[in-house]
Amino acid sequence: MQRASVVLVVVALIGAAGLAVGAGGAGAVPFEGGFAQMDVEPDDVSMEVAVEPDGDARWTVEYRIRLGTDEEEQAFEELRADVENDTEAYTSRFRDRMASTAATAEEATGRNMTVSNATVTAERRELPQSYGVLTYRFEWTNFAAVDGDRLRVGDAVDGLFLDDSSSLILSWPEGYRLAETTPEPSEVRDRSVVWNGPVDFSAGQPRITAAPAGPLAGIPTAGLLAVVGILVVAGGVVAYRRRIGDGGEGGGVPAAGASGAAASDAAADGAAASGADPGGDETAGAGAAAADDDSASDEEEDPTESEDAPPVDSDLLSNEEQVLRLVESEGGRMKQKRVAEELDWTAAKTSQVVTGLRDEGDLDGFRLGRENVLSLPDYDPEGDPSANGGESDGGGGGDDGEAESGGDEPDGAGATGTD
């Protein structure tokens, strides 16, 4: 039994030290001898490497032996007693072996490397079966290469061989993400990758690259340029759609809008001379509002209007739906000039959309001073104090009842120049 425990320790030391790589990072030395000669054979060997932001790494190497028989139980108990009674002997031998391994890796990578703070423990664990676990821990400085804000891990164990009972776990610091890995790992966890043997890594393997986890951090220059290009194209599409929406939708081009505004002014003058209410025509009202933007901006705002209208998603709603939603959000009544401002439309486009809604009976309108006011068909002027007497400034040419009945007046005169 004593011989079994001694063989376990010696082979464990040799196995851990078998990580050495050859010159130039090629021709790694596999686990020397394996565990076939052991009377108590480990069921698995786990090597976990936790890399820090500065490239240093904390290693944990565990040898797990299932304790299924009385002989295995006795052998491991003797080993545990030896480790506890002469810990320094075990750690010093292990540290010397790993220092030799680090020296070989230092020559291959060109980075100064040291091994320090080696410790060893032997304990029994229930996993849930009973296992004896021999654990070595140590620190390896400059194990990983620091490349700007990236960590490149694996060249210090280039060409490593894992037998069928071994596994390698490489983990990166918190705040980093996995950018690249080769070869494909057996498992990808939250902050680590795992290779389960048997794996015979070739030259240039294993490798992982970890980068800061910010939204754009660690993206290669070509990838970043691609992202910028996509954003530029998207911005151009939005600008083009807005331009089309302002000047060219439904035939409402700027030239036509200007002609409509002129026709509206003429119609309004004629209506005023004959004693008719010029505000009865919606398109004429739009022309008057466009012509008098400077003077109308100084007039008192309709008290029923809200300063902050809810946003309207133009990509999901038609022009008509945008107008109706906006007027509804204002309580059923809103100045046409304010609709144009909120939707960032021209007066001509606003007049065109509003005229179509009035033709369909989805919207009514009336004059309030020199402004055109839009209202929903079910809008109740009796419940709105701003709709009761005294709001007509003389330009409307009619009484309150006439102002409220704008939906019954002739339609389209301003746009066509005819009655």
* Rounded distance between C-alpha atoms, residue 405 and residue 137, angstroms: 89
pLDDT of residue 237: 64
Query: E strands along 253-354, which residues?
Result: 333-335
- With H, G, I as helix, E, B as strand and everything else as coil, classify residue 370: coil
Contacts of 185 (CB under 8 A, 6+ apart): 193, 194, 195
Contacts of 97 (CB under 8 A, 6+ apart): 13, 14, 16, 17
Question: What number of other Cβ atoms are within 10 A of residue 86's Cβ?
Answer: 10
pLDDT of residue 226: 62
pLDDT of residue 331: 85
Q: Name the amino acid, one letter, at 413.
A: A
* Rounded distance between C-alpha atoms, residue 411 and residue 284, angstroms: 9
Query: E strands along 129-250, which residues?
Result: 130-140, 145-147, 150-153, 161-162, 166-171, 176-182, 187-188, 192-196, 199-200, 207-212
Q: Which neighbouring-strand residues pair with 90?
A: none
Q: Which neighbouring-strand residues pair with 368?
A: 371
Residue that the structure tokens 């951090």 belong to:
217
Q: Which residues of the chain have pLDDT under 70?
A: 1-40, 215-229, 232-315, 381-419
- Neighbour-count burial for 124-158, b at 16+ CB within 10 Å, e otherwise: eeeeeeebbbbbbbbebbbbbbbeeebbbbbbbbb
Q: Which two tokens stand for residue 165?
A: 């009972």
Calculate the alpha carbon distances from 162 to 23, 42, 72 in Å: 20, 14, 25
pLDDT of residue 247: 53
| Number of residues assigned to the chain | 419
pLDDT of residue 372: 84
Which tens digits make up the pLDDT trace of 173-218? Answer: 999 999 999 999 999 999 999 999 999 999 999 999 999 997 554 4
- With H, G, I as helix, E, B as strand and everything else as coil, classify residue 383: helix
* Rounded distance between C-alpha atoms, residue 329 and residue 337, angstroms: 16
Which tens digits make up the pLDDT trace of 73-99? Answer: 999 999 999 999 999 999 999 999 999
| Cβ(31)–Cβ(11) below 8 Å | no
pTM listed for this prediction: 0.48
Residue that the structure tokens 């959309």 belong to:
353
pLDDT of residue 317: 83
pLDDT of residue 313: 56
Question: What number of other Cβ atoms are within 10 A of residue 164's Cβ?
Answer: 9
Q: Name the amino acid, one letter, at 361.
A: G
pLDDT of residue 37: 32
Calculate the alpha carbon distances from 6 to 12, 35, 134, 140, 238 in Å: 10, 13, 12, 26, 75
pLDDT of residue 330: 87
pLDDT of residue 56: 98
How open is the CA angle 390-354-303, to the nearest 5 degrees?
35
Terminal C-alpha separation, the chain: 115
* Alpha helices (H) in 133-277, listed in sequence order: 221-247, 254-273
Cis peptide before 377 (omega within 30 of 0): no
Question: What number of other Cβ atoms are within 10 A of residue 296's Cβ?
Answer: 16
Q: What sign for the dihedral angle of Cα 110, 111, 112, 117?
A: negative
Give the phi and the psi of residue 11 in degrees, each rounded to 5: -70, -35
Q: Which two tokens stand for residue 24?
A: 């130039």
Q: What is the CA radius of gyration of the chain?
A: 41
